[in-house]
Structure 1
Amino acid sequence: MAQQLSALRASFHQMVVAQQPTQRAANRPAAGSWRQQRRASQPGPLARGPAPLAAVRADQAADTADAGSIELISQITGGVDAAHAAALQRNAAAAAEGLAGSTSELKQKVRASILDLQNGLLERETEVRLLLLAALCGEHLLLLGPPGTAKSELSRRLSKLTGGRYFERLLTRFSVPEELFGPLSMRGLENDQYVRQIDGYLPTAEVAFIDEIFKANSAILNALLTLLNERLFDNGSERITVPLTCLVGASNELPESEELDALYDRFLIRRNVAQVSSAQLGTLAKLAAGTLDAGDRMSTDEPAGNGAGAGLEELTMDDFRSTMDKAYGAVDVPDSVIDLLTGVRNYLQDKCEPPVYVSDRRFMKAVKMLQVAAFADGRSAVHEYDCLLLEFVLGQRPDDAHKVKAFLLETIASDPGLQQTELVFLGLFGRACRVLEAANAQELEEARKEAAALVELLELRQGSLAATLDGGFPELRDTVWQSEASVQAAVQSLTPQMTENKKRAEDLLREAMLLQAALDQGVPAAVLERLLPKRFKQYQKGISGRA
């Protein structure tokens, strides 16, 4: 390749040298009389020879130079195409092998607990997962829906799973604090102390269920807010720490009074619970009659037998108490996830109509929840797919969940990282044009290193997309926090745009490889222009725009 470049430069030099005699003759001062000058200016027998000969030599040099450029471009293109095909083949082979799912002890416990909690329940896969996630985060779950949809049953099963003390109450408009926090102590009143007998009531419970929670009056509300958020309860003059792990609140309707907004915000995870669908009413009838056979159980993701998690180790109270602290220090939140989090919050507050308010406290707790979700999956970093859980966190009204989910799926599918990489490539291409024209050795070496890094980055990105699409979204399917129905819906939404992104990544990888080869061989800028004509036009357009 170096010999070809030398020959190319030599041909250009010969062309210039061949034109120099004619140019010197044209610029030489005339001497003698005007007749001699006229005779010298007329094309004589001797004057006709050199001019055509010089023109022929110049044309031959130009043809040789053009032929050398074409051959050089052909060799670069052929080498890049072979390397590009090899890279795609490697990524395809890696995608065929698939991603090995994590098998941490905690993840196995979560899976066993999910199976146990949803045993005998229909279409409650998502609610079971959200309940366990809320408990692992030390947060609270709000279930909104009509009566008779197994809201209280879920909290009872969580209490049985953990073995913790359980408390349950139904609130009305006439409920008094004694119903939740215990009666006043008569002996305390005799000693002028305003204390309650809290044993067996909410301040001593580890798992609790409060139905119609938004019917709480102001007398109950003040103590309840502190207990839910700070895990503290004021019993007379003493402030005690309560052992509450998770409180499940249920309601048939959203709060209408502004004084209940603070209570509504205490529930990090919110889920609308609907009746069993018409398609599953037959299975529900068989379940009620005790005639549900093994085939029907398998079709509803419910293993046969008594106790779906029988024989498997399940979550314990120690797991619920320690997981959140372990996760916060062990799980990283990448910049891509942070961009997605800030993007969805800005979208909800600035672009939705009406705006959806997301408090700073809720935003911070959402980040920690994603860390717990990733930790329970056996991962050391939060993935963009984990953010799909924000559907149940950031909305204020039932319709907001659809807005959050649609924005997250659209943003993940559009792949902002790939768009930023393309902008980096355009900047590097413009720099390469200037460096090759100026022939600066130091800048050329720096550009080569940047091009090599860009090629490596694009190869990894294309491989990631290939593994996701060809492997059937293994990272999304491997998580314990998404039900099969949720995974199928997400895959259907993400596939079309991500398929286009994969093609874009392949094309951009080839262009980056061409740029790298051009920089490694130090070709003239004109050759780079012919290697990547579309990018060169963008480069020229950018220059003219700045001018």
Structure 2
Amino acid sequence: MATEARDGTMTAKRLRTIIEELCGRFLEREDTVRTLIVAMLARQHSLVLGPPGTAKSELARELTARIEGATFWEILLSKFTAPTRMFGPIDVAALSRGEYRQVFEGRATTADIAFIDEIFKCSTAALNETLGFLNERIYHPESGGEPIQCPLISAITASNELPSGEDTAAIYDRLLVRVEVDYLADPSNFAALVRSAVADSARPARTTISLAELQDAVTTAVPAVSVPEPIVDAICALRAGLRRKELIASDRRWRQSVALLQASAFLDGRTAVGETDLAVLTHVLWDSPAQRPTVEREVLQMVNPDAKAALDLADSIDELEAELDAKAGQSKENLSVWAIKEANPKLSRAGRTLEKLYKAATAQGRSTDSIDRVLTRQRAVHARILREALGVEASALQAGH
């Protein structure tokens, strides 16, 4: 047991099981779940960015509930949220005795894990205290005096939109990990979602870890993961490649990302960072979602050529969907001819190529997250073209790999 506590082997194994369980419940979210856990292990904060109704809050709650013994704090922010609501209301009983103090129990000041929804709606009044909470894990009491040290390990934040002003941009800059989510794309996954609304609710498997195990991993096991010189060289090469494309991340962001690489290796049960761990940087080195594909390609061409090839195919799939949109209003006959002679063959070839890339990546032990995402996109576009151009439902395309 003492050895397990030192190296975190069983903790990492249980965390991998948690990922599997959550991915069975939250479809098309494997990369998201893994990345949030990596951020937590690295003692960093994350942002889940996506439209309403994409299970951002539900996923965060279900993930954090797997940490037994942890104090969890959650809040939905608005521009009117006062700092005292976040960090501790005034003690009315004490005030009646002429004492000015706050009640911190059950607030951010006592939380091990936090979930902050609509983070960019943070009020101006609460901005500085929120930054201090995220950056230094401290809170300055309303009554003055020494700042309070907060036990916060990691905060998961969520938003439907990017920050719109300089004030909230400061918070955005402090969220090292940024993950985009969207509505389900694969028709078979959407069908499974609909079925789950009426299916008998069997009690799902529910693996947990203790707060002590998480803290030991964060403070001891993850920092002990080595970072070989070839990985340092790869990071330097990646930085140079992104700078050539005028994508520049701060030195602080690069330095903090090293802990993410160590956490990724720990989660996979390794004692040294490998090239595959660099994939997590696709969620770190962009400011706007429009920059993400460029960052992803730069990273993946170094660490996962199969995934890079899949992303190249994604461009042609997007072009076919754009062409379908442009043909709106044309005759059914012209649309059918285009679908039969051009769109369907191209998408079928893309599907076969993606399946081969998936098998090659699996055989080499490389991540298939990007390939999975492009495969989901291919199936969605293929199903749409068959349905809208040919009046055929693509149920045959819904078989997974």
Q: TM exceeds 0.5?
A: yes
Q: Hey, what's the Cα distance between the residues in 1 that align with 2:10 and 2:101?
A: 44
2:262 alignment partner in structure 1: 371
State the 1:408 CA deviation. 1.7
Q: How many residues get paired?
A: 313
Letter in 1 for 2:65: K
Q: Which residue of 160, 173, 188 maps to 1:265?
A: 173
Q: Secondary structure at 2:115's aligned position in 1?
A: strand
> CA 1:343 to 1:396, structure 2 compared with 1: closer, same or farther past 3 Å?
same
1:65 alignment partner in structure 2: none
Q: Secondary structure at 2:65's aligned position in 1?
A: helix
Q: Hey, what's the Cα distance between the residues in 2 that align with 1:113 and 1:378?
A: 15
Letter in 2 for 1:486: S
Deviations, residues 233-290 of structure 1 (Å, cap 9, x unaligned): 1223132221222211111111121222221122111111101115122111101111
Could you tell me whether the CA contact under 8 Å between 2:23 and 2:29 is conserved in 1?
Answer: yes
Q: Hey, what's the Cα distance between the residues in 2 that align with 1:223 and 1:131?
A: 24
Letter in 1 for 2:184: V
Q: Hey, what's the Cα distance between the residues in 2 that align with 1:487 and 1:106?
A: 28
Could you tell me whether the CA contact under 8 Å between 2:79 and 2:124 is conserved in 1?
Answer: no
Q: Hey, what's the Cα distance between the residues in 1 that align with 2:269 and 2:369?
A: 22
State the 1:327 CA deviation. 3.8
Letter in 1 for 2:370: S
Deviations, residues 138-158 of structure 1 (Å, cap 9, x unaligned): 211101111111111122112
Q: Which residue of 395, 400, 414 maps to 2:291?
A: 400
Is the radius of gyration larger for structure 1 or structure 2?
Answer: 1
Could you tell me whether the CA contact under 8 Å between 2:14 and 2:209 is conserved in 1?
Answer: yes
Q: Which residue of 276, 287, 311 maps to 1:385?
A: 276
Q: Secondary structure at 1:330's aligned position in 2?
A: coil
State the 1:407 CA deviation. 0.8
Could you tell me whether the CA contact under 8 Å between 2:38 and 2:267 is conserved in 1?
Answer: no
Q: Hey, what's the Cα distance between the residues in 1 that align with 2:63 and 2:46?
A: 12
1:315 alignment partner in structure 2: 209
State the 1:490 CA deviation. 10
Could you tell me whether the CA contact under 8 Å between 2:87 and 2:139 is conserved in 1?
Answer: no
Could you tell me whether the CA contact under 8 Å between 2:48 and 2:156 is conserved in 1?
Answer: yes
1:343 alignment partner in structure 2: 237
> What is the correspondence of 1:6-405 to structure 2 with a 5 Å cutoff?
104-163=9-68, 164-189=70-95, 194-235=100-141, 236=143, 237-279=145-187, 280-290=189-199, 306-309=203-206, 314-327=208-221, 329-348=223-242, 350-352=243-245, 355-405=246-296
Q: Hey, what's the Cα distance between the residues in 1 that align with 2:91 and 2:263?
A: 40
Q: Hey, what's the Cα distance between the residues in 1 that align with 2:372 and 2:261?
A: 21
Q: Hey, what's the Cα distance between the residues in 1 that align with 2:172 and 2:116?
A: 13
Q: Hey, what's the Cα distance between the residues in 2 that align with 1:351 and 1:215?
A: 34
Could you tell me whether the CA contact under 8 Å between 1:115 and 1:308 is conserved in 2?
Answer: no
Could you tell me whether the CA contact under 8 Å between 1:155 and 1:208 is conserved in 2?
Answer: no
State the 1:486 CA deviation. 3.1
Q: Hey, what's the Cα distance between the residues in 2 that align with 1:314 and 1:107?
A: 11
> CA 1:158 to 1:334, structure 2 compared with 1: closer, same or farther past 3 Å?
same
Instruction: Answer with 331-340 or 385-394: which moved more.
Output: 331-340
Instruction: Answer with 112-121 or 371-380: which moved more.
Output: 112-121
Instruction: Answer with 143-152 or 321-330: which moved more.
Output: 321-330
Deviations, residues 485-505 of structure 1 (Å, cap 9, x unaligned): 4366799xxxxxxxxxxxxxx
Q: Secondary structure at 1:143's aligned position in 2?
A: strand
Letter in 2 for 1:258: E
Q: Secondary structure at 2:140's aligned position in 1?
A: strand
Deviations, residues 159-214 of structure 1 (Å, cap 9, x unaligned): 32113222222112222222211212235546766532111111112222221110
> What is the correspondence of 1:450-469 to structure 2 with a 5 Å cutoff?
none
Could you tell me whether the CA contact under 8 Å between 1:213 and 1:250 is conserved in 2?
Answer: yes
Q: Secondary structure at 1:256's aligned position in 2?
A: coil
Could you tell me whether the CA contact under 8 Å between 1:106 and 1:378 is conserved in 2?
Answer: no
Q: Secondary structure at 1:168's aligned position in 2?
A: strand
Could you tell me whether the CA contact under 8 Å between 2:278 and 2:303 is conserved in 1?
Answer: no
TM normalised by structure 2 equals 0.71
2:321 alignment partner in structure 1: none
Could you tell me whether the CA contact under 8 Å between 1:165 and 1:204 is conserved in 2?
Answer: yes
Q: Percent identity?
A: 35
Letter in 2 for 1:122: L
Q: Which runs of 5+ in 2 are unaligned?
A: 1-7, 306-357, 376-401
Q: Hey, what's the Cα distance between the residues in 2 that align with 1:358 and 1:191?
A: 52
> CA 1:485 to 1:380, structure 2 compared with 1: closer, same or farther past 3 Å?
closer
Q: Hey, what's the Cα distance between the residues in 1 that align with 2:36 and 2:22?
A: 10
1:3 alignment partner in structure 2: none
Could you tell me whether the CA contact under 8 Å between 1:136 and 1:319 is conserved in 2?
Answer: no
> CA 1:278 to 1:177, structure 2 compared with 1: closer, same or farther past 3 Å?
same
> CA 1:410 to 1:244, structure 2 compared with 1: closer, same or farther past 3 Å?
same
Letter in 2 for 1:308: A
Q: Hey, what's the Cα distance between the residues in 2 that align with 1:289 and 1:270?
A: 33
1:41 alignment partner in structure 2: none
Could you tell me whether the CA contact under 8 Å between 1:138 and 1:245 is conserved in 2?
Answer: yes
Q: CA RMSD in A?
A: 2.9
Q: Hey, what's the Cα distance between the residues in 2 that align with 1:167 and 1:135?
A: 15
State the 1:470 CA deviation. 11
Q: Hey, what's the Cα distance between the residues in 1 that align with 2:50 and 2:231?
A: 31
Could you tell me whether the CA contact under 8 Å between 1:138 and 1:321 is conserved in 2?
Answer: no
